[in-house]
Amino acid sequence: MRALVTGGAGFIGSNLADRLASDGHEVVVFDALARPGVERNLAWLQERHGARIVSVQADIRDAQAVADAGRKADVVFHMAAQVAVTTSLVQPVEDFEINVRGALNVIEAARPRNTPVIFASTNKVYGDLADVPLELVGDAYRPQDPDVRTRGISEQRPLDFHTPYGCSKGAADQYVLDYARSFGLPTCVLRMSCIYGPRQMGTEDQGWVAHFLIRALEGQPIVIYGDGRQVRDILDVGDAVQAYISAWRRIDQVSGRAFNLGGGPANAVSLLQLIAYIEEVTGRKVDGGFSEWRAGDQRYYVSDPSAARRELHLPEPRDWRSGVAALADWLAAERGRTAARKTAEAV
C-alpha cells in the first residue's frame, strides 16, 4: 500500500511513517521541513527504510503539490499543521492558511479517488473548560464531579473554540467530518491530548513533556505558565501511532467519527508532578519560575479514551512513568550523538 503522511518529518508523523514503512508500505513523507530539527527525522527514516520513504518537500498550502503527492495514495494521514497557540496569536492569518486551507487541500485531493483521510485534531476544540468545577488537591487540579474525575472529557462535550489555533484546528476538524457526511469521503478525526516520545523536538510553545526533559538534561530553568497544577493526560507516541493505524484499518466502521485520544485518567499528571518525576529520573534538581497563564490554557484536560479504545480495538496505553523515563534516555542519547557530531565537524 502507499500512504501519504503530511507533516511526515515531524514528531508524530515520523513515528507513524516509521511504523508504516516497517509494516511494508511505501510512505510519501510530505513536509515543508520548516520546523528546526525535523530534517534529522527525515534522514533517520531514509536510513532505516531506503526506497520505501519518498520525500516530498512542499508546503501544505500548495494545493497542486498536495494533489500530486496524494494521487496514488491508498490512505492519507494529515498531520501537517501550525501547532502552537502562541504563534496563532501573533500570526492568525498564517495559522488559518496552514490549518484550515491546508486541511481543505488534503480532503479535496482525497475526494476524486475516495481515499481515506485520518486527521490529527486536538483537545483544544473543547475550549478552556472553564465551566468544569475543579478542586485543588495537593499539586494538581481535579474535577469535583466524580464521573468526570473517573472517566475524563468525552466526545459528547460541546465544541468551543478558543484562540486562533483552536478556531483553525476546530474548523479543520469539522471540515474533515463533514466531508464524510456531505461527500461520503471516508474520514476519521483523532482529538489528541498531549503526546510524547522519541523524535519530539519539544519547545516552550509545543511538546512540553520533551521540553521539560530537555531543559532538565541541559541544566536550564523551566518557565511554568500558570501555577503548575494544571493537569493533562499524556500518551506515548507508540500508542498514538497504533490508534492512527487502527483508524485506517477500521475506516469502514468509524468513518465520519471523532475520537478523543489520550492516556486517560490513569495517565493524568500535573506539570509540578511531572517536574518532580523528571528530577527523580534524571537525578538533577530542576530550577524554574512562574509566569502568567497563557490564553486558552485549560486548568484540567483529561481525555475519556473509552470510545477510541472500544471502537479502534486499542490496548491499554503505556504507563506515563515508564514512557517518560524512556524518553529521558532517548533524549540523553540524542544529545550525546549531537555533541559527537559537532565535535567531529569542529575537528
Q: What is the pLDDT of residue 342?
A: 54
pLDDT of residue 336: 80
User: What is d(CA 237, CA 221) in angstroms, rounded to the nearest whole number?
Assistant: 26
Cα gap 215→231, rounded to integer Å = 20
Q: In Å, how far are 224, 235, 237, 324 from 318, measured between CA atoms?
A: 26, 7, 10, 10
165 is catalytic: yes
Instruction: Choose, from 126, 141, 165, 179, the residue flagged as catalytic.
Output: 165
Beta carbons of 162 and 128 less than 8 angstroms apart: yes
Please choose, from the candidates 271, 14, 306, the residue with its C-alpha nearest in 3D space to the C-alpha of residue 153.
306
The 8-class DSSP code of residue 91 comes to -
pLDDT digit string (tens) for the chain, length 347 residues: 999 999 999 999 999 999 999 999 999 999 999 988 899 999 999 999 999 999 999 999 999 999 999 999 999 999 999 999 999 999 999 999 999 999 999 999 999 999 999 999 999 999 999 999 999 999 999 999 999 999 999 999 999 999 999 999 999 999 999 999 999 999 999 999 999 999 998 888 789 999 999 999 999 999 999 999 999 999 999 999 999 999 999 999 999 999 999 999 999 999 999 999 999 999 999 998 999 999 889 999 999 999 999 999 999 999 999 999 999 999 999 888 654 445 555 54
Please provide the distance, in angstroms rounded to a whole number, between the alpha carbons at the two ends of the chain. Answer: 45
- For residue 52, the 8-state DSSP code is G
Cα–Cα distance measured from residue 300 to residue 269, given in angstroms and rounded to the nearest whole number: 10
- CA-CA distances (angstroms) from residue 201 to 2, 6, 40, 211? 27, 17, 11, 7
How many Cβ atoms from other residues are within 10 Å of residue 347's Cβ?
5
Q: How far is CA 301 from CA 82, 127, 275, 297, in A?
A: 21, 10, 18, 10
What does the pLDDT read at residue 206?
A: 83
Euclidean distance between CA atoms 321 and 278, whole angstroms: 9
pLDDT at 100: 98
Distance CA 188, CA 35 (A): 26
29 and 8 Cβ atoms separated by less than 8 Å: yes
DSSP 158: P
Q: What is the pLDDT of residue 338?
A: 56
| CA-based max dimension of the chain | 61
Level-2 CATH architecture, domain 81-346: 3-Layer(aba) Sandwich (3.40)
Residue 210's nearest CA partner among 126, 152, 258, 274 is: 274
Q: Which helix (H) or strand (E) holds 29?
A: strand 26-30
pLDDT at 340: 45
